[in-house]
Amino acid sequence: MKEKPRVVKRILVDLVITVRYGFTQFSLGRVADLGILSDYETAVASGDLHSDAAQIDAICELEGMRGYLESTSEKARGFAGLFRRRQAAAPKGLYLWGGVGAGKSMLMDMFFAATDISRKRRIHFHAFMQEIHAGMHDARATGVEDPLEPVAAKVIDQARLLCFDEMQITDITDAMIVGRLFEKLLAAGIVIVTTSNRAPGDLYKDGLNRQLFLPFISLLEERMALHHLQSAADYRQNRLRGTQTWFTPADETARAAIDKLWQDLTTGQGGKHQLHVKKRIVEIPAFHNGAARADFADICAKPLGPADFLAIAEAARVLILENIPVMNRARNNEAKRFVTLIDTLYEAKTKLIATADAEPEQLYQEGAGSFEFERTASRLREMQSADWAENT
C-alpha cells in the first residue's frame, strides 16, 4: 500500500514531463525508477526532509531535463538501432530562485546525482566565473582575437549539463561577459540549471552600467524556465534551529558534535573549494551546498584580509570554524584577522558554528585591541541566539 502513492505521484510527474517535453519517462523502460522523486521521498520518509509542494513542483521541471539528458546521452545513442522513438526537443534551462533555505541547492544536488550521464558538472557560480576570467587571461597571452571563444569551447567540450549554485552578479567584469558566455553555451545545446536568491530582474541591481547587463536578463527570461521556489519552510534553518552553535572546550566531544552537524548539512559530501580573490587563491578545506568547514589556523593564521573574508562569506551561508584558541599578545595578528572575519560574517548574515578553547569573552583578554574585542565577543553571543538563527 505504501508503494501506490509513490507510483501515483510518479504518474503525475510523468504527465507533466510528457506535456512539457514531448516524451514519457516510462517510455525509457524505467517504470521502477522513480528518479529524483524517489530520492526525495526517501529523505522525507527518513525524517531528513518534510514534504513540500513547491519542491515537488520543481522536481517536475528537473525530471524532464533528466529524461532528456539520459535519453540523448552517448550510452542511449548506442542503442538507437534497437529502439525507435521520436527525438525529444532540447528543454530550456532552469533558473530556480527563492529565499535562503528554501531547498534550491538540495534539489539541484538531487537532480545532479540522479542524472546518469558522464559529461556533467556542478560548481558554485562565483568559482565558475573566476575560472572563466583565468581562462581568458591565459587566452589573451596567445594573441587570440576573442579570448572568450576558446574558454567557452572548453566548457562546451567538457559538459552537456552545467549546474550553478547561487548565481549572483556583483562584479562589473562578470556582468560584461556573462551574457556572451551564456549565449554560446545555450547555442551549443548545453543544459543549464542555476539557483539564485534573486529573481532574474534583480540581478546586478543598481550595478555600474547596468543597462549593458539588461540583455542578459532578457536572455535568461527567454531561454530559461524561471521557477520561483516559494517553499513554506526554511530547509537549512530547519536543520539548524535549536542546534548548539558554540562548543567549548574544543575536545573530542565537540569534534563528534561537529561531525554530526556536518553530516546533517552535507550528507557527508563536500571537498576542497578554491576561491579566487584578486589573482590569489583562498582554499576552504571542506565545502558543499553553501556550507563550509575550516580550522581556525586555515583562515586566521594565514595572511588573509578583508577581501578574502568577504569572498568566504559570499560563498558560504554556514561556516563551521574549529579550534578557536585563546589568544594573547603573541597572537595579535591572528586576533585581528578573527575580528575582521567575525565582522564580515555578521554583516553577511552567515551562520557560524564553532568549537573554541573558551567562551567568547575569554578568547582575547590581553594584547593590542583587547578592549575592542569586547564588541566581537558581543557579536559572537548574538550570533548564537535564536533570533539570529531566524534571520539568517
Q: Where are the domains of the chain?
A: 3-228, 235-391
**Range scoring the smallest mean pLDDT among 156-160, 237-241, 269-273, 320-324:** 237-241
Centre a 10 Å sphere on the Cβ of residue 316 and count the other Cβ atoms it contains.
25
> Which pLDDT does position 45 carry in this prediction?
85
Q: Residue 127 above 90 pLDDT?
A: no
Task: Give the whole-number percent of the chain exceeding pLDDT 70.
Answer: 82
Q: Residue 144 above 90 pLDDT?
A: yes
Q: Residue 83 above 70 pLDDT?
A: no
Q: Are 347 and 314 in contact (CB under 8 A)?
A: no
Give pLDDT tens digits for 229-286. 876 555 555 556 667 899 999 999 999 999 999 988 887 777 888 887 877 888 999 9
Q: Name the CATH topology of 235-391.
A: Rossmann fold (3.40.50)
Domain 3-228 identical in fold to domain 235-391: yes
> Which pLDDT does position 288 carry in this prediction?
81
- The distance of Cα 250 from the centroid of its chain, to the nearest Å, equals 28
Nearest in space to 83 (alpha carbons), one of 75, 94, 95, 92: 75
Average pLDDT over the chain reads: 83
Centre a 10 Å sphere on the Cβ of residue 45 and count the other Cβ atoms it contains.
12
- Is the CATH code 3.40.50.300 the one for domain 3-228? yes
Cell numbers that stand for 283 in this block? 582554499
Q: How many residues does the chain have?
A: 392
